[in-house]
């Protein structure tokens, strides 16, 4: 599959649109670096949720039923526990470094939801990111070679027979969160030090660029199907 074809996949276009929504918060709702980083912190949970869905659906039948069931029973709670610990530590780090005046208005989980998630409008891009991840997962899981019809003049078949293996899913998840959050935390420190809108816009652009690179790399390669 060519780079142009991968960029024009429905899942890629939806991902870009969802990741552009935070620009509204930065440009019109006075979002600061903390809100932007909290949004991307939430996205880790969204990614984990859809990876669990993909593991549970698993249409490829790559291992026997008994082994598969054992694998699922281990992987799902492992991912929940491991990602939960990561998110807890990550949030403590974000809160200590970036919360600033937000800490004065938040005195518990209920305040966090009321003030930060709802009051700031954070819930809008959160829903968009959740839907984007869901659409991307389901399109690639149920029909990995889906493309705009004008890009597929001949039938294609997927070179990788199992783009949603458990190993590939988990490896991609941890690779993504490590690359993404280290880059964004560094960008957040720079943005907080400068204290203007421009660095926040740059953060969003960097995040989209990383997402696009990882998304394209994860898209299954396709090649023309052999003639009948």
One pLDDT digit (tens) per residue for the chain, 228 residues:
566 766 777 778 888 899 999 999 999 998 988 999 999 999 989 988 988 888 887 655 444 444 455 566 777 888 888 888 888 988 998 899 888 889 999 999 999 999 999 999 999 999 999 999 898 888 776 654 444 443 333 333 444 444 445 556 666 677 777 777 777 778 777 777 777 788 888 889 988 888 888 777 765 554 434 444
pLDDT given at position 66: 46
Instruction: State pTM to two decimals.
Output: 0.78
Phi, then psi, of 23 in degrees rounded to 5: -60, -35
Which residues touch 125 (CB under 8 Å, ≥6 apart)? 18, 21, 22, 24, 25, 39
> How, if at all, do strands 222-224 and 156-158 pair?
antiparallel
Which residue from 221, 224, 223, 212 is spatially nearest to 11, judged by alpha carbons? Answer: 212
Q: Which of 38, 27, 2 is nearest to 181 (CA)?
A: 38
Q: Supply the pLDDT for residue 158.
A: 41
pLDDT value for 21: 92
Distances, alpha carbon 86 to alpha carbons 40, 80, 89, 174, 196, in Å = 13, 10, 5, 10, 29
H helix count then E strand count, the chain: 10, 2
What is the distance between the alpha carbons of residues 177 and 56, in angstroms, rounded to a whole number? 21
Q: What confidence score (pLDDT) does residue 118 get?
A: 95
Query: What ranges do the domains of the chain cover?
Result: 3-224
Residue 165: per-residue pLDDT: 53
How far does Cα 123 stand from its chain's mean position? Answer: 16
Backbone angles phi, psi at 157, to 5 degrees: -135, 155
Looking at residue 172, its pLDDT comes to: 67
64: exposed, middle or buried (Cβ count in 10 Å: 0-12, 13-18, 19+): exposed
Helix (H, G, I), strand (E, B) or coil at 149: helix
Q: What are phi and psi of 156, to 5 degrees?
A: -125, 160
């Amino acid at each position: 599959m060519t780079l142009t074809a991968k960029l024009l996949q429905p899942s890629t276009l939806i991902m870009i649109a969802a990741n552009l929504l935070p620009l509204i918060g930065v440009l019109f709702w006075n979002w600061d670096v903390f809100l932007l980083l909290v949004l991307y912190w939430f996205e880790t949970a969204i990614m984990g949720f859809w990876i669990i869905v993909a593991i549970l659906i698993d249409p490829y039948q790559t291992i026997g039923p008994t082994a598969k069931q054992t694998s699922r029973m281990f992987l799902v709670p492992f991912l929940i526990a491991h990602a939960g610990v990561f998110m807890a530590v990550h949030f403590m780090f974000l809160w200590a470094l970036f919360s600033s005046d937000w800490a004065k208005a938040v005195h518990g989980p209920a305040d966090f939801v009321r003030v930060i998630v709802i009051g700031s409008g954070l819930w809008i891009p959160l829903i968009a990111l959740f839907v984007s991840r869901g659409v991307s997962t389901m399109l690639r899981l149920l029909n990995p070679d889906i493309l705009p019809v004008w890009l597929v003049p001949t039938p294609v078949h997927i070179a990788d027979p199992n783009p949603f293996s458990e190993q590939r899913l988990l490896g991609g998840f941890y690779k993504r969160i490590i690359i993404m959050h280290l880059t964004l935390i560094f960008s957040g420190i720079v943005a907080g030090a400068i204290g203007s809108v421009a660095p926040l816009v740059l953060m969003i652009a960097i995040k989209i660029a990383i997402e696009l690179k990882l998304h394209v790399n994860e898209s299954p390669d396709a090649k023309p199907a052999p003639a009948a």
